[in-house]
């Protein structure tokens, strides 16, 4: 591990080696196992991309069919998980509900520690398959609606949308959501992925690693970007109010939700692919004003502040156009990122060392202990 002096937030420190994601801060590149994420989002499916992340190569037709069959067979929630969701108090955060459901699922598939390769693979497939089922079941239960079971004949993305709404999604909407899932499937050592790898390095099972990841993602500085963006866009209201809204933010370089990635120096490589998807889905949903507001804000922020939109900026209006409630946005992030988390956990198992970084001590100089009777 690197002995480099850490920057704020460990910026620039190389903590470990990985063959999963290639993130080019200066070049604006993001690739999964060597394939540009934009190419995957434009031509692949979430199932195929998940296989790539987990297995390391694109599947053959037969391999993808077998993988998809296994994934679909892993989607149904256990009675324990369903009961845990039914017992959730009113108003509970969806990310807490998701963590609870996945923890309940872990009871149905325990593994020896550290888990064997076969056990880890089975746990990983169950987590990828059950995450959208759990999110959708929780959403419907809180509306006093019956949870929808996954349909084996539908794609992963289409099933996600159908289980949330109870209605079969428009094919184009499902295809655009599929692309959105792919764009967020991995992004190197972000906080939640690093939490998963630190946990996996202890020999804990895949469920524990994903529990750590979802806990990290539940924090507003990591998982709430899309929520903050949609709140901001709805606060602005219309494209003609963008200038006045920005002026009220004050001088200097104020932090605008959805702008300025911590790693990418220029535009997030995923942003360009999302723009036409958002335009299409906002038009379909009758939310053209939302799309125009987003475009006007992006142009103004780039021109005034030289800050570029990150992937979350356009995912927010896309999710809104697809009918996903704003408080579910972080949970949908977790659904998208599940294959990446599992891939990193499986990779970490190949290294038997603990991830044990050092801290630079900045506290008091050495002091002598004073007994209580002598203290004032």
Q: How many CB atoms lie within 10 A of CB 321?
A: 25
CA atoms within 13 A on the CB side of 315: 29
- Enumerate the β-bridge partners of residue 22: 31
Of 73, 68, 65, nearest in space to 150 by CA: 73
Listing from the earlier edge strand, what are the strands of the sheet with 21-24? Answer: 21-24, 29-32, 35-36
Q: Active site residue: 139, 261, 308, 344, which one?
A: 261
Structure letter (DSSP) for residue 56: S
Radius of gyration (Cα) for the chain, nearest Å?
A: 22
**Joined tokens for residue 51:** 């296989």
Annotated active-site residue 11? The verdict is: no
Q: Active site residue: 176, 225, 312, 344, which one?
A: 312
The Cα–Cα gap between 198 and 188 comes to 14
The Cα–Cα gap between 318 and 290 comes to 10
Annotated active-site residue 261? The verdict is: yes
Q: How many CB atoms lie within 10 A of CB 282?
A: 21
The Cα–Cα gap between 50 and 340 comes to 8
Q: How many CB atoms lie within 10 A of CB 29?
A: 14
Q: How many CB atoms lie within 10 A of CB 178?
A: 22
Query: What are the catalytic residues?
Result: 261, 312
């Amino acid at each position: 591990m690197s002995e480099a002096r850490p920057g704020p937030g460990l910026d620039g420190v190389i903590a470990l080696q990985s063959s999963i994601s290639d993130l080019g801060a200066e070049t604006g590149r993001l690739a999964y196992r060597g394939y540009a994420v934009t190419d995957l989002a434009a031509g692949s499916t979430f199932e195929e991309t998940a296989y790539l992340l987990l297995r390391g190569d694109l599947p053959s037709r037969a391999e993808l069919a077998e993988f998809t069959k296994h994934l679909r067979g892993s989607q149904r929630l256990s009675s324990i998980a369903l009961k845990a969701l039914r017992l959730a108090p009113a108003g509970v955060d969806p990310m807490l509900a998701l963590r609870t459901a996945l923890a309940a699922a872990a009871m149905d598939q325990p593994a020896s520690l550290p888990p064997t390769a076969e056990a880890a693979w089975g746990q990983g497939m169950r987590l990828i398959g059950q995450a959208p089922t759990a999110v959708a079941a929780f959403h419907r239960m809180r509306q006093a609606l019956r949870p929808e079971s996954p349909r084996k004949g539908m794609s992963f993305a289409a099933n996600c949308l159908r289980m949330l709404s109870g209605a079969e999604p428009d094919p184009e909407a499902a295809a655009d959501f599929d692309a959105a899932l792919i764009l967020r499937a991995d992004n190197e050592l972000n906080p939640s992925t690093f939490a998963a790898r630190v946990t996996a390095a202890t020999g804990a099972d895949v469920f524990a690693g994903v529990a750590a990841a979802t806990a990290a993602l539940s924090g507003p500085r990591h998982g709430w970007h899309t929520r903050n963006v949609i709140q901001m866009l709805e606060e602005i209201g219309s494209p003609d109010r963008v200038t006045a809204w920005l002026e009220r933010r004050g001088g200097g370089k104020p932090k605008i939700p959805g702008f300025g990635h911590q790693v990418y120096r220029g535009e997030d490589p995923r942003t360009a692919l999302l723009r036409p998807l958002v335009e299409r889905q906002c038009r379909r949903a009758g939310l053209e004003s939302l799309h125009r507001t987003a475009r006007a804000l992006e142009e103004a922020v780039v021109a005034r502040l030289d800050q570029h939109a990150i992937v979350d900026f356009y995912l927010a209006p896309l999710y809104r156009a697809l009918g996903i409630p704003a408080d579910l946005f972080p949970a949908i992030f977790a659904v998208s990122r599940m294959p990446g988390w599992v891939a990193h956990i499986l990779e970490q198992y190949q290294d038997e060392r603990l991830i044990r970084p050092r801290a630079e001590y900045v506290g008091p100089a050495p002091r002598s202990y004073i007994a209580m009777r002598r203290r004032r």
